[in-house]
């Protein structure tokens, strides 16, 4: 029987999970692939650190060359989690004709096209199923099952940290700060949570999803980005009164052959399956012209779910090695579609703002909106204090350009402050 030797870069949570799953499920993997898969070498920064995984028969080293220069090693798993070092290493590995599996979303979002081209050039596989939505096999599903369909939209709850925080705020009335602290205590948020709460992590994942679903390469600046730091419990309650749940949602939407990609707090109707996704779980709702609405739900992170996605990539590489079909891109769909201008991105919005609690202010707000052809279907004073009133309103569908104009005009008025402007799903946006 053929034995395929594997190198692993990094032995943190995911790396340990990969070693463990390969040991635990060796027989099934052999049954399916006809090969024995063996981790030969693991590269770590500190070889003396204690490890909670059985490393019998595996060389632990801090020398990357032990993997790079070992001709026996055919597949390398990169789970270090840096960007530049990982990029350098992977380029060297591909140049040595080693197949690479990575869970590194930042790297793939920033340098995916470069690395994919290099892999193809060297007849190598480069797979990264684990980079998006942990245990949910969403990338390979898009490749295999939407090939003959036209994806119309991808909506993703793809960041477990922010979904945990918003769930806690919604269900238990915690403030943002309290919910963040709880997430940190439970290990769902890092000490510096910026990348998660500011939406950057979700934006990286949406870049990768957009590449697969629409064949379009984006950079981070193409993604309109807003985090959850300013989401107030009052907005969550008001949204609930209106029949919505606030989620940090990645949206990639193709309309009139133009693409719009954003990450931000969104009001989701309670009957939408995404509204029910709780805590650290992830879900991706893909709408295809033929297939309609499909949703894929599962654990967004964690040692074993993520490691399982890495394993599915390792097995895909192994099959390709056996059949001598390596070197095909993970996603071969490419379509240089244009990005939608702000005038063509149409949604209803939830607005929350403060204004002086005196006659004439509502009229003034209404006049500002009317001037830009913006109108609302519901408006409500939600609280009043210190001569300030807080109001919430839901607009009719309007363009992002209109929203921006209203925002500008409000910014110029010292007495009014716009606290929130969130998209509302399930209205006229489709």
Please give the positions annotated as active site. Answer: 205
Q: Contacting a second copy (CB under 8 A), which of 3, 65, 88, 145?
A: 145
| Gap between the Cα atoms of 355 and 417, Å rounded | 7
Q: Contacting a second copy (CB under 8 A), which of 299, 361, 366, 382?
A: 299
Closest separation between CB of residue 22 and a second copy, Å?
A: 7
| Gap between the Cα atoms of 349 and 377, Å rounded | 10
Q: Write the CA distances from 305 to 18, 67, 128, 328, 330, integer angstroms.
A: 10, 25, 14, 25, 20
Contacts 24+ apart (CB under 8 A), 83-90: 83/107, 83/110, 83/111, 86/9, 87/111, 87/115, 89/9, 89/64, 90/115, 90/126
| Gap between the Cα atoms of 111 and 114, Å rounded | 5
Q: Contacting a second copy (CB under 8 A), which of 144, 256, 336, 385?
A: 144
Q: How far is CA 248 from the centre of its chain?
A: 10
Closest separation between CB of residue 362 and a second copy, Å?
A: 39
Paired strand residues for 346: 399
221 is a contact residue toward a second copy (CB under 8 A): no
Task: Count the residues in the chain.
Answer: 430
Q: Contacting a second copy (CB under 8 A), which of 193, 264, 305, 427?
A: 305
Of the two residues 181 and 279, which places its CB atom closer to a second copy in the complex?
279
Q: Contacting a second copy (CB under 8 A), which of 7, 15, 112, 288?
A: 288
Both structure tokens of 426: 């399930």
| Gap between the Cα atoms of 140 and 154, Å rounded | 15
148 is a contact residue toward a second copy (CB under 8 A): yes
Of the two residues 82 and 294, which places its CB atom closer to a second copy in the complex?
294
Closest separation between CB of residue 187 and a second copy, Å?
A: 16
15 is a contact residue toward a second copy (CB under 8 A): no
| Gap between the Cα atoms of 95 and 90, Å rounded | 8
Q: Contacting a second copy (CB under 8 A), which of 36, 59, 70, 149?
A: 149
Both structure tokens of 32: 């399916």
29 is a contact residue toward a second copy (CB under 8 A): yes
Nearest C-alpha neighbor of 349 from the set 304, 382, 392, 301: 392
Q: Contacting a second copy (CB under 8 A), which of 15, 298, 348, 427?
A: 298
141 is a contact residue toward a second copy (CB under 8 A): yes
Per-residue string for binding with a second copy, 309-348, x by CB under 8 A?
A: x-xx-xxx------x-x--x---xxxx-------------
| Gap between the Cα atoms of 49 and 399, Å rounded | 55
Of the two residues 20 and 237, which places its CB atom closer to a second copy in the complex?
20
Q: Contacting a second copy (CB under 8 A), which of 81, 135, 227, 264?
A: 135
| Gap between the Cα atoms of 331 and 406, Å rounded | 40
Closest separation between CB of residue 374 and a second copy, Å?
A: 34
Paired strand residues for 60: 42
| Gap between the Cα atoms of 216 and 200, Å rounded | 19
> How many other CB atoms sit within 10 Å of the CB of residue 160?
24
Q: Contacting a second copy (CB under 8 A), which of 5, 13, 25, 178?
A: 25
Residue with token string 């984006």: 218
Of the two residues 75 and 420, which places its CB atom closer to a second copy in the complex?
75
Strand (E) or helix (H) holding 218: none
Paired strand residues for 285: 155, 295
Of the two residues 193 and 298, which places its CB atom closer to a second copy in the complex?
298
Of the two residues 37 and 180, which places its CB atom closer to a second copy in the complex?
37
Strands (E), 202-332: 224-225, 244-255, 258-269, 281-288, 292-299
Closest separation between CB of residue 60 and a second copy, Å?
A: 22
Closest separation between CB of residue 239 and a second copy, Å?
A: 19
Residues interacting with a second copy, by CB under 8 A? 17, 21-22, 25, 28-29, 31-33, 129, 135-137, 140-141, 144-150, 273, 276, 288-299, 302, 304-305, 307-309, 311-312, 314-316, 323, 325, 328, 332-335
């Amino acid at each position: 029987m053929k034995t395929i030797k594997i190198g692993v870069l990094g032995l943190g949570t995911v790396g340990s999970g990969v070693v463990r799953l390969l040991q635990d499920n060796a027989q099934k993997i052999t049954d399916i692939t006809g090969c024995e898969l063996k981790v030969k070498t693991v590269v770590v920064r500190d070889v003396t650190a204690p490890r909670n995984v059985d490393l019998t028969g595996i060389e632990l080293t801090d020398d990357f060359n032990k993997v790079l220069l070992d001709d026996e090693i055919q597949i390398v798993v990169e789970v270090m989690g840096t960007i530049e070092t990982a990029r350098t290493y992977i380029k060297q590995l591909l140049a040595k004709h080693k197949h690479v599996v990575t869970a590194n979303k930042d790297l793939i979002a920033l340098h995916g096209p470069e690395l994919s081209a290099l892999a193809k050039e060297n007849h190598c596989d480069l797979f990264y199923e684990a980079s998006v939505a942990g245990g949910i096999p969403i990338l390979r599903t898009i490749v295999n099952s939407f090939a003959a369909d036209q994806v119309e939209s991808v909506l993703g709850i793809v960041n477990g940290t922010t979904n945990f925080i918003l769930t806690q705020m919604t269900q238990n009335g915690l403030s943002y700060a309290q919910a963040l602290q709880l997430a940190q205590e439970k290990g769902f948020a890092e000490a510096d949570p910026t990348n998660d709460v500011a939406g950057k992590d979700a934006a990286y994942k949406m870049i990768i999803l957009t590449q697969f679903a629409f064949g379009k390469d984006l950079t981070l600046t193409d993604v309109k980005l807003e985090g959850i730091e300013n989401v107030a419990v009052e907005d969550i309650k008001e949204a609930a009164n209106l029949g919505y749940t606030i989620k940090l949602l990645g949206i990639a939407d193709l309309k009139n052959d133009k693409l719009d990609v954003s990450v931000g707090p969104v009001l989701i109707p309670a009957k939408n399956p995404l509204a029910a996704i709780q805590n650290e779980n992830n879900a991706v709702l893909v709408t295809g012209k033929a297939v309609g609405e499909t949703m894929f739900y599962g654990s967004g992170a964690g040692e074993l779910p993520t490691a399982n996605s890495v394993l599915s990539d390792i097995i895909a590489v192994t099959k390709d090695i056996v059949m001598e079909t390596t070197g095909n891109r993970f996603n071969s769909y490419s379509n240089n579609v244009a990005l939608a201008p702000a005038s063509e991105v149409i949604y209803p919005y939830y607005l929350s703002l403060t204004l002086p609690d005196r006659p004439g202010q509502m009229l003034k707000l209404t006049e500002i909106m009317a001037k830009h052809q913006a109108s609302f279907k519901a408006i409500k004073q939600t609280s009043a204090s210190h001569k300030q009133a807080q109001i919430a309103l839901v607009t009719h569908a309007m363009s992002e350009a209109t929203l921006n104009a209203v925002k500008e005009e409000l910014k110029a008025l010292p007495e009014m402050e716009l606290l929130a402007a969130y998209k509302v799903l399930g209205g006229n946006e489709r």
